[in-house]
Chain A
Amino acid sequence: MTAIRKYREMSRTQRKEWMRELIINNSLYVFLIAAVVVIQFISPNFLSGPSIVNIISLSAANLPIALGIAGAIILTGTDLSAGRIVGLVACVSASLLQASGYPAKMFPNLPTMNFLLVFLIALAIGGIIGLINGFCTAKFNLHPFIVTLSTQLIVYGGLLMYLNIGNNNGQSISGLDPSYTSFITGSFISLGSTPIPNYVWYSLVITAIMWFVWNKTTFGKNMFAVGSNQEAANVSGVNVKRVIVLVFGLAGIMYGITGFIEAARIGSNSAATGLNYELDAIAAAVIGGVSFVGGIGKIRGVILGVVLLRLIFVGLTFLSIDANMQYIIKGLIILVACAIDMRKYLVRK
């Protein structure tokens, strides 16, 4: 009510200024709504069950990796190995969970494994590579750009070698065990007539846990402190090296989750699985206000960034825009969204 009264009391120029501030401070929401309105206007089928579920599930699949990478960005770092870790975890998970009767099975003699056990293996692989990233960053004082540039090559090499063991000969891995695929892509709730896949709920749970980790734990507080001012954090008694190692370790676990979901979601996994995922994840995090300046970022922002990015990707396909042109538009949108959002943090002069 007071806001309305305040608005009434404003002069015309003040109102204009107020509107401008409002739009700039909520630019992402404005952007999101504008995109929906424009796409819906051109293509009236856009806001229907299937495409909404499509956007939601694509966002959910990409949320864990974005949350992981956001932690690295908060430390003024980055992670180029994310996509390759997702690929490795996806292939390993898929190879361990092929249906028993499938003819081109990678390990023909492997009994049907429990997918929860494989899930733990997926977390372990992601987590260990993440810890290695963090260890090299903290111990050798290297920028994570360099560290993860190296590890993504190593992980990729390992993945290519892995795809050659057993009967596989570098083929893509499919024919997954139905218990696994139904656990991930099955559904118990539908939107209209479109089923919502289970992994959407898993992703929400992961996001909630990450919110607690970021906002309610000593580790989370320390992460923001280290990102904001590493020297001051050290003097204030924060174990800076441990924080760095753990942030990357946690990010690795997030990539592990993404890989485990991705394997079942795509169904057929090859060396190309996960390729360039880190770039989309970085873009989503940055669009969502996670800043390379360090110490700035919110879970809410990351979610918004992921959804906005997916919405645009799906929207562009919906508008049947030429695939080559799509790249150009995506690039421009990321640039513009970040530039507008950055204005919030600038000190006005």
Chain B
Amino acid sequence: MTNEILLEMKNISKSFPGVKALDNVSLKVRRGSVHALMGENGAGKSTLMKCLFGIYSKDTGKILLDGKEVSFKNPKEALESGVAMVHQELNQALKRNVMDNIWLGRYPRSFGFVTSEKRMYKDTKKIFDELDIKVDPRTLMSKMSVADRQMVEIAKAVSYHSKIIVLDEPTSSLTEQEVEHLFSIINMLRDRGCGIIYISHKMEEILRISDDITVMRDGAHIVTEPAKNFTMDRIIKLMVGRELGARFPENDAKIGEVVLEVRGLSSRHNAVDDVSFKVRRGEIVGLAGLAGAGRTEVIENIFGISERKAGKIFLHGREVKNRNAREAIKNGFALLTEERRSTGIFGILDLRENTTVSSLRKYRGLLGLISEGKRRKDTSWAMETMRVKAPSQRTKIRALSGGNQQKVILGRWLLTEPEVLMLDEPTRGIDVGAKFEIYKLIVELAKKGKAVIMVSGELPELLGVCNRICVMSGGRLVGEVDAKNTSQEEIMRLAAENA
């Protein structure tokens, strides 16, 4: 690490109609350093990066790369000048293989027009060996895990001889081992003199990997200091601009009789294998495990959206079939899915449609026509209960932040009056302040007597919110621990030992 400045963004401002997204923000990234960029959703991190890549045009300000002023018109120009970005949502051609993706738009050619597969393979292999990535360059992207696909994206950045690499939430879907591998690659790139801009919500990681930390809030630059000057609490305080109390709300819900019992659940097309457990009234049960352990698959199977091979589900001792989502909802089940954007929200529809879609039946009146008045009332009740911040019920849901979208979907499920609430990664991609809100809402629901199952890859969150945690591995239940008397280490051991 040197003190030489590799990238400097000076007094960048950017306005959208009605909002000042960036207000005079400056950022300096040193050669051979990892620079963490932190802030809540909407703080302006992405906007700043988009200005760097020419996806947005900045209103004012200057960008200096290696001391020379640059102004990229599009990401391609940025990439060719050595500025690369690995997006959180990977944009890859899934039907093509690894090397096609890496050399997309600049295939090596022989005779001027024939793409040379051989050279592509050789060059890709070389980069993979350097980075210790064990993937065959001819594998189809769609056949690979998210972690591997992310590595490919990093390799692509390296293949452009990038000086600046931006990583946006790179670890949000990685397991612990995969995170270690990613960090070793980051360290390697740092030693080569790259400047890494690292965007993440995970404090532990940031404090471990970064050299400098910049905190942004509400479109403004708050502070830049060496990472060793920070503690987790200080970062959070700077990010939210106020003192944040406990990270988790107190869970004092009364636990009652068994509501849900699952016996010997096995799925036909994925990993779930002979899973049995019970959930009581007012209880929050966590499902932990490494990626691919079958957590999501279990609750999807209970909800009836994946095919069951064997097993029985009992609600209050009475068997329910849940052959599809409709039946499950009728029986009093609700499922908040993992991928909010692809299976949760109806982006172009407004909040009222999004909130009432699962309970339209309730609003049928004369001739089966839907009563708008009742729908408006229920929507405003749900928005109030879930503390959704939005201009109106007619706002399109895609205009809201991730946290607010999640609250709308929770509200949707409240309107179906479920007894069993299944939550899959309820706080993924949601900022610190909003996370606490979501936890509080979950605990409140438990207090109202719902049986809650929560799947999460973030162990601290499971430990903080759940009563009991079931650990999964390879589609089987391999252990069960009391959330009050366990530790991350114990759960990790259970999850890994049986893998």
Seen from chain A, the residues whose Cβ lies within 8 Å of a Cβ on chain B are 212, 216-218, 221-222, 224-225, 228-229, 231-239, 293, 295-296, 348-349
A224 in contact with B358 (CB, 8 Å): no
B353 in contact with A221 (CB, 8 Å): yes
Question: Given the complex of chains A and B, what is the CA–CA distance between A17 and B345 in angstroms?
Answer: 33
Q: How far is the CB of A72 from chain B (nearest CB, A)?
A: 18
Any A CB within 8 A of the CB of B317: no
B346 in contact with A295 (CB, 8 Å): yes
Any A CB within 8 A of the CB of B364: yes
Any A CB within 8 A of the CB of B343: yes
Which residues of the other chain, A, contact B335 by a CB distance below 8 angstroms? 235
Q: How many A-B residue pairs have CB under 8 A?
A: 76
Any A CB within 8 A of the CB of B452: no
Scan residues 311-360 of chain B and give those whose CB is less than 8 A from a CB of chain A.
Answer: 325-326, 328-330, 335, 337, 342-349, 353, 356-358, 360
21 A-B pairs whose Cβ atoms sit less than 8 Å apart in the complex: A212-B369, A216-B370, A221-B353, A221-B370, A224-B353, A225-B346, A225-B349, A228-B346, A228-B348, A229-B345, A232-B345, A234-B325, A235-B303, A235-B343, A236-B325, A236-B358, A237-B326, A237-B416, A239-B326, A293-B348, A348-B16
Which residues of the other chain, B, contact A237 by a CB distance below 8 angstroms? 325-326, 328-330, 358, 416
B349 in contact with A224 (CB, 8 Å): yes
Q: Which of B16, B337, B360, B416 contacts A235 (CB 8 A)?
A: B337
The residue of chain B having its C-beta at the shortest distance from the C-beta of A238 within the complex is B357
A218 in contact with B370 (CB, 8 Å): yes
B357 in contact with A236 (CB, 8 Å): yes
Pairs of residues from A and B, 5 with the lowest C-beta to C-beta distance, nearest first = A228-B346, A237-B329, A216-B369, A231-B343, A218-B360
Any A CB within 8 A of the CB of B17: yes
Seen from chain B, the residues whose Cβ lies within 8 Å of a Cβ on chain A are 16-17, 55-56, 303, 305, 325-326, 328-330, 335, 337, 342-349, 353, 356-358, 360-361, 364, 368-370, 412, 416
Q: Which of A217, A239, A349 contacts B56 (CB 8 A)?
A: A349
Question: Given the complex of chains A and B, what is the CA–CA distance between A15 and B412 in angstroms?
Answer: 41
B353 in contact with A225 (CB, 8 Å): yes
Q: How far is the CB of B58 from chain A (nearest CB, A)?
A: 12
Which residues of the other chain, B, contact A224 by a CB distance below 8 angstroms? 346, 349, 353
B357 in contact with A295 (CB, 8 Å): no
Which residues of the other chain, A, contact B368 by a CB distance below 8 angstroms? 217-218
Q: How far is the CB of A281 from chain B (nearest CB, A)?
A: 23
Question: Given the complex of chains A and B, what is the CA–CA distance between A234 and B328 in angstroms?
Answer: 12
With contacts A221-B353, A224-B353 taken as known, whether A232 is within 8 angstroms of B346 at the C-beta atoms is yes
The residue of chain A having its C-beta at the shortest distance from the C-beta of B344 within the complex is A232
Q: Which of A218, A232, A349 contacts B364 (CB 8 A)?
A: A218
Which residues of the other chain, B, contact A228 by a CB distance below 8 angstroms? 346-349
The residue of chain A having its C-beta at the shortest distance from the C-beta of B413 within the complex is A236
Question: Given the complex of chains A and B, what is the CA–CA distance between A348 and B370 in angstroms?
Answer: 34
B343 in contact with A348 (CB, 8 Å): no
Q: Please name 15 further chain A to chain B contacts, defined as beta carbons within 8 Å, in addition to the given A218-B364, A236-B357, A239-B326, sorted by A numbering.
A: A217-B370, A218-B360, A218-B368, A221-B370, A224-B346, A225-B349, A225-B357, A229-B342, A231-B342, A232-B337, A233-B346, A235-B335, A236-B412, A238-B357, A293-B348
Question: Given the complex of chains A and B, what is the CA–CA distance between A349 and B16 in angstroms?
Answer: 8
A221 in contact with B360 (CB, 8 Å): yes
